[in-house]
Chains A and B, each alone.
Chain A
């Protein structure tokens, strides 16, 4: 993938790839089986071993190392393709980074095999490394930067070197050729290895490389690796190894057993053998086979795919072995099982899997059988050994995770190397490609088995790793400010911290596009299937070091606009005729410049005052709107906030009422204001309700508030005018008295029924009466069943889930709320809903109004004052304080050729162009999809202008304008090179979440998969160099598309588990619809950080979301934007525990705590800092949940390990990748 990063790479690589791929594939396809068989065996063995072992112990290593490695791996395969490019072109250095990723991938892949791999890896590495080392060495020089990124600099470098070497090798006919050459010769073997053994390959080539870089930390074992690496990248490798080594050292032994297993079915011995084999492996393919055989079980599976589909059945044995291995590591099996069709416990599936495989081997190859045997043996040994050894390793390893990764990477590469056998360098590239192929083949065999097999065979570390990509981007792009002046330049990823300099286009904080090179024609767009969309966050909060949009005042005439399309003055307006006229960049219409705005042009045709005027030089700015832009041609009033508090029995009992009232007393001092010196102009009002509504008169002249009960809910009206909406400062005493009394008044209430429709109506009436816009805060506890408009009935019916009628559950029960929301929008009445349900509350219906009015919904199921208080209060505080605009209208104008056709988010549209938002806060996004209605030209590119007319919190009418220009391309390759996967996923998720309203969920899922397959297939067909059909080639920019897409498909909304309520799904559905890219990213692919060495300002490097990356001895933190988990391994070090929890004993940790104890040690402080910073980054407060391993709450936690198979039937990453590949192949054929 990394290689692919640059398309140029692709083409060059393409050539090599074919070579590699062909061989490898070829092997897969036919004769290879034999060689592969063995290879696969080992490789698979590694993988299986890895997974099983890895799950607990490996996991830790892998996870850390893997995180990077897998990415690199995947990328690497792809990269290989791309890598080729680099060699051909000078880019190599550039590509090197990619190489790193590759390496890392390799590492990660190694990771899975971890224990074995480490050992084996070293062995492999030497061979691989050697070849690589040469080339790599060269490369390494230039690629220094990468190493840095990895953290384990040396290893990284090495890795990169290796990677580069790989690439280079591939690129340069010489070394690569050599390396490859052998492979081709040994193709069968190689291919096998690749197929089966991305892992094995990893172990061999990659491991060394990657390991070396990452491992540097652990010096101790490096020695061992060093020997393996021998002369080659010894140093680098050593380092990586050390890091991983210490921990992995044990694994190595394990791996040894693995290696042993192949020969002897038992684990640890095999490792040794593997190591040995590896070294030999490189020299001769046979060793690989051996090694492969060790991993064999997994490899077997690979082998199976390679040979034919038949192999799968034969693979049965391998599976069995795998199963065996899996079983050992309990969690991994589960995951595996998960993916498998049967949702039964992991083990059974595996078992089942194995049996088929059993048959497979026989059919396929004797080697396979051999592999199988080893695998089985391997697995078994690994299990015991692995488990035992791993945990400790992991514990120790946490610090070293990166080390391990490299190590893993190493292994992967090794595998490749193995394939390449002789040409260690070459292998990596092939490995990359091959890895993919491997995975691919497995799917080919048959979906389910394929998946299973693929899983077994494909080393999770070998597939593109989000972590790696994120880290790469962070390393590359966070140092320099991102300047928006260059058209068509993709911004850094959302996960990267960077500074933006506005040079004429809107900051990515405001607008992110799916593609920064738009296809020129509709045909191209259709062919590629890449969605053209922009995620716009018009009022985004900028970091303190960036300047908020300037205010521009064009005087009484209002902003200057194009006469025809009404676009606002912007940098795309071309001044002509000496500055007397300007030509609109959107519609080309020529408009006179008003005299007061006239300015002379300089010699370049620019206005002389160009840089003095924000609207001529910046991408984002604001206009002061004139009275013409106001409702009824009347300047608006400052907005009002009305608080509606449910005081029915449930609400009072849960403590909500009390909390809200207490909090409001202080919160009212923090109403939004533009100038902190001045009191907020926002007026407030209060209403409580159950079956009837209680309004409060809090006029400042009163000694006591007055309550006015409106029981006529069927025809709501506002019972008072004067004294309902008041200025906080004027009425402070009365308000405080009121808030003190509300909880008392209703403390003994026995009213359980509530209304909801009239509540909104009341707020609407209040705002109407006050003639202002505003926001309603509704704190609501139960399904509104009282007799009133908008009454709802309980319609939750689990039986409908999964049927065609399911969609009805996402639609509102009646049209009442839709109509109501229209009225709300017309008045500029935004509704924020805080729900505290104890049972079904019909979020789908209740959320209609908030969603249509630009409001937010917060849900606190089973709210308890003690545990949820903080979360709720923080949400509330933020919600009240956040800057927002009211009564907003947004319009997106585009240059001729495209137009905005579809909008997603929380808003209302009365026509097809105007997005009406009663409220628009700094967290809300509107996603806009564009379609061609004509051709675009490459010269002018595509322009879009998003103008938002709104009323500020001080009652000022403003226009915020964001301009965005992107390139247009006539080559598909350009399109694929400038995509942003995160944005695409964000768009897909929103699109899919909306589709389920009208389409059966399954269809939606299929459509998504299909579209992604088309995107990738189109790339493969049109941009990638020709290669074996068995090879999965992903565009660099989209290499994470499968993993992310899988996360979307597995999300609760699209694939609900048995315990996911309809409310939860409806809630998430609306939530996602207005998420920005960074939120949707972390929502679908949560951030999982190992808690190690928290000193220093930087965060520990994330690990991939898979249980196998978790170490029993570690503590992890996982963040999704909505949830925050602290996972504590059963064997976590006492010191760690005391640092965090103040108790050294695992069993004494209170799983109910929602905040960590305030301990006076650097670790605890830093950890709490990190948690705080996480919380501050998100628009919603995340309650901390402590999950102890093996505890029942772990199930919830596991739900977020999105690379694993999910309990609800979602495929694991590996399985899904295989499936995807199959889809692509079907499309291609």
Chain B
């Protein structure tokens, strides 16, 4: 058997799943004592170029409350043409089409390598993708122009049969009709009045036929595209929409001095949701909100229009001084669940120098699997490329997006799902639902023991993900996984070695973030610390009350360091981050895959110097040296930092001189690497090119382990590095404390 590392890697590659523990303790109590819960990171729609989908329906267990899908773990009686469900043990006959089944002639879903398999199924007529743009017009002309161009550009990226819609808002909300010739037509709504979905549909004239009689009946349900003038195929309205976007005016209502523009984001979103709800329920659709500022009126308003009242800060929130926070949050949550129920996802592209109310609106995306992108202006490449990347295509030329996904988790009797963290909402008891998944997004699922474990058995988990592929096919992806049970008493060593510290770190981080949403920051930190200490106590080898004797096995060795950086990350530290930024970071944190999540927790630092090839270096202030160029990737930022000497050279223009071509190469190297990262990452990271003493250098300095600070600058002797002006503890101090506490018998 390969090492656990290989096993884990293989599992991730095949099934997109990583467990915190790859051997499962056999009782609930044991599981609790493991500190890190039995859980997994699952990427439901992990890109699998090597996995061809099969073109038939999955075979389901006939038990009404089971309905598990036939999988390689099932016992099959080829002669009787019967299979036993490995979850409920129901014996099911194969359907007639499996008549030819035999030992040598097995369907794909029974082969072990197809523990993850994808079915293409026929469910009703294919519905085209739907993109509904919701555009804020209270922008500066420059911004608006950039946004217009981006939107126009995006039209060319859409498949021709995709339906598009446009809602603009400012003081009023306008729903643009796209099918009309000649005059551009739009329906206008007051930005302050909350309307029910029914009212919205009535006012948009979307339901009159259904209500009024036979004449309309054929129209409404069967061919919504005919009745819904607001959502039209791109190929039909391409020109119209381009013109419309081109003529998009800034919100014409005057903004008196000392006021914010009135922005009816709340109503705009409610109309967008209502519109889709009425026309394309349970069909994949994407609402894309482009906003340049906080909602300032109507339901969902985040801040009043008086400039003298600043938008809420952490300070206000902790003091319970944010007037609109709760109301707005509740409002958007309600909207989000409506959208999620109908399989519509909501993206938020917020570009403004100040906060835009992401804190309140984040649930729109969080619960519906949408994106959040935050930038300073629509006129930046950050936004432009991020937006462009939304429409990136996979190897098949399809969008890397899926719609209306539903994830069902089926477990053996011994297990039960306790919850999920990620861009999803729960569909009753059935299981968590991911209403929309980009292939990157990740829910975290926890399992707890439910029933006594049969000896020697294996626990199994089946993920059934139904979704609408971006090429409009309906697909079902089934992933079935099994793990061995282990007795924590006798097999603790095995369990320890099955520990996946990376996955665990991410899972704990997500738990922490999840808690941070509802609890005070210090409480969460304390909780994290306690968990870490408990884990160290459980698996560390030490002599009581002797910190120096403390040792961790290799499978846990990196874990404390992850926790150290997690504590300093913006996911848990609100200091220096606005509520919006935090929301933004957290949003991405809970949905990226393991690697990316780890980068977020502990940024990667590369060093470029004449001393050798680029190398990763410690995220430590000690790594900041004058003759180095550093490239830091925090996921959200890419920082290129030129050391003092390098910066001086560059300033002197040596790179221009032929004899210093090597210097030029040195300067270019990190840029190329950064470029490569930029190419692949979504959302686009903020790209920062700075140097020693530059103001932007703070991005680097705030991340590195402050091993040198103004307090201990000279304590380290000759080693040169950059002192960090901070009172934060360094990793060293942290570890010392950890050891002390772990070995303490008092704990």
Contacts and interface: CB of A to CB of B under 8 A. Distances in A.
B183 interface: yes
B190 interface: yes
A799 to B, nearest CB: 33
Contacts, number: 75
A364 to B, nearest CB: 75
B126 interface: no
Given A702-B247, A717-B172, A720-B252, A712 B183 contact: no
Given A712-B203, A715-B193, A707 B252 contact: no
Contact of B184 (A704, A710, A715, A720): A704
B90 interface: no
A1057 interface: no
Contacts of A721: 252-254
A741 B204 CA distance: 21
B258 interface: no
B182 interface: yes
Max chain B CB contacts within 10 Å: which of A695, A720, A722, A737? Answer: A720
Contacts of A589: none
Interface in A336-353: none
A245 B137 CA distance: 87
Nearest to B188: A719
Interface string B201-213: 0111100000000
Interface residues of B, number: 25
B187 interface: yes
Given A706-B247, A709-B188, A738 B172 contact: no
Contacts of A696: 183
A706 B185 contact: yes
Contacts of B189: 710-712
Most buried by A among B186, B188, B189, B193: B188
Given A719-B174, A722-B252, A723-B252, A708 B202 contact: no
A156 interface: no
B203 A708 contact: no
Interface in B144-191: 172, 174, 177, 180, 182-190
Given A692-B203, A722-B249, A708 B183 contact: no
Interface in A702-740: 702-712, 715, 717, 719-723, 737-738
B187 A741 contact: no
A721 B253 CA distance: 6
A1023 to B, nearest CB: 68
A745 interface: yes
Nearest to B247: A702
B195 interface: yes
A238 B540 CA distance: 146
Contacts of B184: 704-707
A709 B186 contact: yes
Given A712-B195, A717-B172, A721-B254, A707 B185 contact: yes
Contact of B182 (A695, A704, A709, A719): A704
Given A708-B174, A712-B195, A720 B188 contact: yes
A702 to B, nearest CB: 6
Contacts of B193: 712, 715
Contacts of B205: 692, 711
A709 B187 contact: yes
Nearest to B202: A711
A707 B186 contact: yes
Nearest to B190: A717
A707 B185 CA distance: 4
Interface in B237-268: 243, 247, 249, 252-254
A704 B183 contact: yes
Contact of A708 (B182, B187, B204, B247): B187
Nearest to B203: A711
A715 B183 contact: no
A708 B167 CA distance: 12
Nearest to A722: B252
Given A719-B172, A720-B172, A738-B183, A703 B247 contact: yes
A361 B247 CA distance: 92
Contacts of B254: 721
A721 B251 CA distance: 9
Contacts of A717: 172, 190
B204 A711 contact: yes
Q: Which of B172, B183, B202, B247 has the most CB of A within 10 A?
A: B183
Contacts of B195: 712
B252 to A, nearest CB: 3
Interface in B194-230: 195, 202-205
Contacts of A703: 243, 247
Contacts of B172: 717, 719-720
Interface in B488-542: none
Interface string A820-856: 0000000000000000000000000000000000000
Nearest to A721: B252
Nearest to A695: B188
Contacts of B177: 709
Contacts of A707: 180, 183-186
A710 B187 contact: yes
A705 B205 CA distance: 22
A35 B243 CA distance: 98
Interface string A1002-1014: 0000000000000
A738 B183 CA distance: 7
A715 B185 CA distance: 21
B247 A712 contact: no
A712 B182 contact: no
B279 to A, nearest CB: 16
B270 to A, nearest CB: 13
A744 B177 CA distance: 17
A745 B172 CA distance: 24
Contacts of B185: 694, 706-709
A696 B186 CA distance: 10
Nearest to A723: B252
A703 B205 CA distance: 27
Contacts of B203: 692, 711-712
B172 to A, nearest CB: 5
Nearest to A738: B183
Given A712-B195, A715-B193, A717-B172, A705 B202 contact: no
A706 B247 CA distance: 10
Contacts of A711: 187, 189, 202-205
Nearest to B173: A719
B129 to A, nearest CB: 26
Interface in A659-718: 692, 694-696, 699, 702-712, 715, 717
A723 B253 CA distance: 11
B253 A745 contact: no
Interface string A315-359: 000000000000000000000000000000000000000000000
A707 to B, nearest CB: 4
Contact of A741 (B174, B183, B247, B252): B183
A708 B252 contact: no
Contact of A712 (B174, B180, B190, B243): B190
Contacts of A705: 183-184
Contacts of A741: 182-183
28 contacts: A694-B185, A696-B183, A699-B249, A703-B247, A704-B182, A705-B183, A706-B183, A706-B185, A707-B180, A707-B185, A708-B188, A711-B187, A711-B202, A711-B203, A711-B204, A711-B205, A712-B189, A712-B195, A712-B203, A715-B190, A715-B193, A719-B172, A720-B252, A722-B252, A741-B182, A741-B183, A744-B182, A745-B180
Interface of A: 692, 694-696, 699, 702-712, 715, 717, 719-723, 737-738, 741, 744-745
Given A705-B184, A706-B186, A737-B183, 14 more contacts: A694-B185, A704-B182, A705-B183, A706-B184, A707-B180, A708-B188, A709-B187, A711-B189, A719-B172, A720-B188, A721-B252, A721-B253, A722-B249, A744-B182
5 shortest interchain CB distances as A-B pairs: A722-B252, A711-B203, A719-B188, A707-B185, A709-B187
